[in-house]
């Protein structure tokens, strides 16, 4: 197994940790999920490692509104199903959201919304593989490793608003019914 280089750095959404090895970026962690490398011989704090530096620069560029897509070699470790879900996450366009059911459909497993949700929750590369763009079928923000306020901030950075995610029957909730005036 190769050495994993990592760095942690401040960002507009809190401290982020990026870890990469020769295969690609392995992890992006939020402050509350920060990897404890103490006693981990394979993890070496190396902010100057080329891929760690490149990932940090692209993440900060995105978080400051200057980037919509990432151009990084990725090497997430997971089951074949998880990797398929994570690959599909990258297809959700910037500024748009999908429900878990839509993601399950895109993966070719329309009855597997819960399994897709579990894979989404284990995404080791949040932001780059945009699990924050997956919301509940009713438009509600649901679980996110960085916390729901961070999920909302990321979506708003992309121009999303809760109104966009509302179900069709909720869109006109404030409009008086015909004949009620």
The structure tokens listed for 120 are: 């989404």
Measured at the alpha carbon of residue 32, what is the angle toward residues 112 and 148, in degrees to the nearest 5? 50
Listed in sequence order, the residues at least 6 apart from 134 whose beta carbon sits closer than 8 Å to its beta carbon are 89, 92, 97, 98, 99, 100, 103, 117, 120, 142
Annotated catalytic residue within 116, 131, 134, 155? 131
Cross-strand pairs, 45: 6
Catalytic site includes residue 131? yes
Catalytic residues: 131
């Amino acid at each position: 197994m190769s050495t994993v280089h990592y760095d942690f750095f401040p960002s507009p959404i809190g401290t982020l940790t990026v870890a990469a090895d020769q295969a690609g970026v392995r992890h992006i962690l939020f402050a509350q999920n920060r990897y404890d490398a103490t006693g981990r011989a394979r993890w070496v704090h190396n902010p100057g490692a080329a891929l760690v530096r490149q990932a940090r620069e692209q993440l900060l560029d995105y978080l400051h509104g200057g980037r919509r897509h990432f151009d990084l070699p990725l090497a997430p470790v997971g089951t074949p199903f998880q990797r398929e879900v994570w690959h599909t996450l990258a297809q959700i366009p910037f500024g748009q959201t999908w429900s878990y059911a839509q993601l399950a459909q895109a993966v070719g497993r329309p009855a597997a919304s819960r399994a897709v949700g579990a894979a989404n929750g284990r995404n080791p590369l949040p932001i780059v593989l945009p699990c924050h763009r997956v919301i509940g079928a009713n438009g509600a923000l649901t679980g996110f490793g960085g916390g729901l306020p961070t999920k909302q901030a990321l979506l708003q950075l992309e121009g999303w608003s809760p109104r966009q995610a509302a179900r069709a029957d909720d869109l006109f909730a404030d409009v008086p019914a015909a004949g009620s005036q």
